Structure 1
């Protein structure tokens, strides 16, 4: 379609791709619902739409986040002794873009590209907490799966906790996804003030506890602010990104 440089019909696309007209029409219908193509009702021809631009902008934004965060992750892991994770909201999950592992023999291990549930992780709660209520309701539509005895499965309880996350500025996961593992996370803002990611410390429950939050939160928050500065976040007089 891009190569054609003009609006193009189903028959022409079928000839160019070698697919049947029925297959081409089905694909175009799906792409139209995703705003990747648009159909001209007068000519019944299709052209590329703004959905591709939005998709490309999203990829570019995530690439910027990786560029801004990657040089700082190892330093945070060394300073805290815990595994560091960089995550974004992707569909209805947390997608881990990068990590720096703890040097401790007892540590949390996570693969790049791994997906985690929103309601049972510190990063997921952070990514949810700054979303509009309508978006949160859509993302949490359906049953909240129980992963451990500590998992929050009551939507009202989770919404209350998200309010606490916004108030405190960080989220916690206390063996809610997996027994023996805990994590704390803070949001990452871009230059517009939008939350575009979450920076997480994850480790064994013996070391990462509610009582250790204050000690671990300081280097975590400082690293998050450094990442935000690299992203071009607007900095307020007290040194934190404008929310």
Structure 2
């Protein structure tokens, strides 16, 4: 590991969680290195557009260069590029927003968001990160991970985002087992009060789970007895089609419990 690079990323992570800006002294304390070292890192990052300095306060915040890198990552990610058409199709078919996500560490990164059809104001969630245990996307992915990876997720921190979020490993284990049986995951107000999610896993050409695609919308729209079944069928069908686009074998997911 190159220490300077590691420290630079540590600085960026601290700035990503800071509100709204941090100074050299604050960053030095957080990163655990001397102020001159942090100052040199910040000057280098500033020259590359990764951070910017407020001229009035002298404090730093994230820079526009990160947006370029982030967009390049999204635009080049195969799951996202393949999912765009299928997500739009699912959104139109069900009349609900659609998210496509992948697991990064213990969080789900939303790599594509197809808006709910209609003219209502909606907030683009592409780039958002979500606790895996509090969303249908995360549970759909976790259920089909290799057993060791799945156990690691269950053994770590399980945030409670709302009062309905599940942070008990035994309850989550039972849910994941159910997801493997049905082929889809559900969250009911676990991420956002009043909203629900229904998601299914997406597999790549190696047969491993690559991410998930799912519906997001009001509970009363997705989780009535009739709607739940229809939505689950639609999500599973689109997830299978997207998996085929990614070259997944027909038995994808069957070996995830080995």
Which secondary structure does the structure 1 equivalent of 2:111 belong to? strand
- Is the 8 Å Cα contact of residues 183 and 236 (structure 2) preserved in structure 1? no
2: CA distance, partners of 1:179 / 1:142 = 24
Distance 1:29 1:218, change over 3 A: closer
TM-score, normalised by the number of residues in structure 2: 0.65
Which secondary structure does the structure 1 equivalent of 2:221 belong to? coil
Between the two proteins, the alignment pairs up a number of residues equal to: 189
Q: Paired residue for 1:228, among 239, 243, 247?
A: 243
Which secondary structure does the structure 1 equivalent of 2:165 belong to? coil
How many angstroms does 1:195 deviate by?
0.6
RMSD: 2.8
Unaligned 5+ runs, structure 2: 8-72
Q: Paired residue for 2:95, among 81, 84, 89?
A: 81
1: CA distance, partners of 2:93 / 2:128 = 24
Q: Paired residue for 2:179, among 165, 182, 185?
A: 165
- Is the 8 Å Cα contact of residues 148 and 176 (structure 1) preserved in structure 2? yes
Distance 1:79 1:145, change over 3 A: same
Give 1 or 2: higher helix fraction. Answer: 2
Distance 1:188 1:74, change over 3 A: same
Unaligned 5+ runs, structure 1: 1-23, 31-58
- Is the 8 Å Cα contact of residues 83 and 107 (structure 1) preserved in structure 2? no
Larger deviation, residues 212-221 vs 183-192: 212-221
2: CA distance, partners of 1:128 / 1:110 = 24
Larger deviation, residues 137-146 vs 86-95: 137-146
TM-score, normalised by the number of residues in structure 1: 0.69
2: CA distance, partners of 1:28 / 1:224 = 38
Q: Paired residue for 2:142, among 123, 128, 132?
A: 128
How many angstroms does 1:27 deviate by?
3.5
Which secondary structure does the structure 2 equivalent of 1:213 belong to? helix
Matched, 1:206 2:220: yes
Matched, 1:26 2:3: yes
Moved over 4 A (4+): 104-110
- Is the 8 Å Cα contact of residues 125 and 171 (structure 1) preserved in structure 2? yes
Distance 1:203 1:180, change over 3 A: same
- Bigger Rg over Cα: 1
- Is the 8 Å Cα contact of residues 102 and 212 (structure 2) preserved in structure 1? yes
- Is the 8 Å Cα contact of residues 88 and 198 (structure 1) preserved in structure 2? yes
Distance 1:202 1:108, change over 3 A: farther
Counterpart of 1:197 in structure 2 is 211
* Mapping for residues 1-243 of structure 1, pairs under 5 Å: 26-27=3-4, 63-104=77-118, 109-209=123-223, 211=225, 212-235=227-250, 243=254
How many angstroms does 1:79 deviate by?
0.6
How many angstroms does 1:143 deviate by?
3.8
Distance 1:235 1:153, change over 3 A: closer
1: CA distance, partners of 2:121 / 2:238 = 20
How many angstroms does 1:131 deviate by?
1.6
Distance 1:133 1:69, change over 3 A: same
